[in-house]
Amino acid sequence: MVQQDDYDEKKLIDLAKTGDREAFEELRRRHEKKVYGYIRSRVKIDADAKDVAQNTWKEIWRKIATYDGDRAGNKFIPFVFYRAKIKIVDHQTQVRTRRTEPLSDLARQTSDSARKETEEEVADRLGRLEIDPTESAVERAEAYDQMIRLAFHGSSPPHQLIAYGFCKLLEWKPSEVVSELSDLPLREAARRLEADYASASTITRGRVASWFTSMHQSMDKKFSQVVIDQKTLETYPGLLDRVVGDTKLSDYYLTEASANVAHWWEAVRRRSLTELSK
């Protein structure tokens, strides 16, 4: 049996990618409590949460060979959580389907509050994109693709897009963005965002790359050439002639850093939903 001290995590992953089941089980042992906690906070019934967790680890084992540590900045947990999120959405969609089958009047009345809660949870698991959970998997995927394209090819400033990407696509907390990315030039943060998401996602790398093209292009332009919102330009007069990719997130903090990051990603989400509804 593989012992925790025998290998560091990178070596365990490399072994698992070659089909070493013991190495994979050690990875699972290290992360299963955190992953189960993530799932249990979103799946109300313990037995269902255990099923989702089991299906998640089966999927991770099936996909482990696609994990690219160099592109992902050697962060394994976003790769794991992304697959957990997919399994949670699948489970909640199945629950929604079962609950919309013909019911007696009494059963329908007693299930109303539970059904509403499930819809809200599914919407949240989809990144709060406000997609109808009764749509097919293909329809949900197309809506998700459209939402992300609108976000990253829209009018949001690059620093806000980076906050949105890490917080909503990779599910970082604002405090994690602040601690790890504050002093990283935006062009490097943008590259890391794409690499981490491409590694964690089941979406093809070509499609992921197409989402981020516009943001990468903006990195070589001046702030005043990229930002079109007059209020934002007035907020950062010292950045007008700076090349965007050379600036850092810390250059944009006005008050408490984590609050700024939370505000930025939420602003991008609101803009994107407005565009999506047109």
Which tokens go with 26? 């050690």
| Greater pLDDT, 132 or 243 | 243
Question: Any idea which residue has 């007035």 for tokens?
Answer: 234
**Given a cut of 70, is residue 103 above it in pLDDT?**
no
Average of pLDDT values for 220-241? 94
What is the rounded CA–CA span in Å between residue 142 and residue 144? 5
Question: Any idea which residue has 């962060």 for tokens?
Answer: 75
Q: How many residues does the chain have?
A: 278
Which tokens go with 245? 């990719």
Q: Where are the alpha helices (DSSP H) in 41-76?
A: 46-63
pLDDT at 239: 96
pLDDT at 73: 58
What is the rounded CA–CA span in Å between residue 52 and residue 39? 7
Coil, helix or strand at residue 173: coil
**Given a cut of 90, is residue 184 above it in pLDDT?**
yes
| Greater pLDDT, 8 or 58 | 58
pLDDT at 94: 75
CA atoms within 13 A on the CB side of 52: 31
Whether the CB-CB separation of 227 and 157 falls below 8 Å is answered with: yes
Q: How confident is the model at residue 72 (pLDDT cuts 50, 70, 90)?
A: low
**Given a cut of 80, is residue 140 above it in pLDDT?**
no
pLDDT at 177: 94
Torsion of CA 176, 178, 179, 180, to 10 degrees: 80
pTM, 2 dp: 0.55
DSSP 167: I
* Structural domains in the chain plus CATH codes: 9-125 (1.10.1740.10), 138-276 (no CATH)
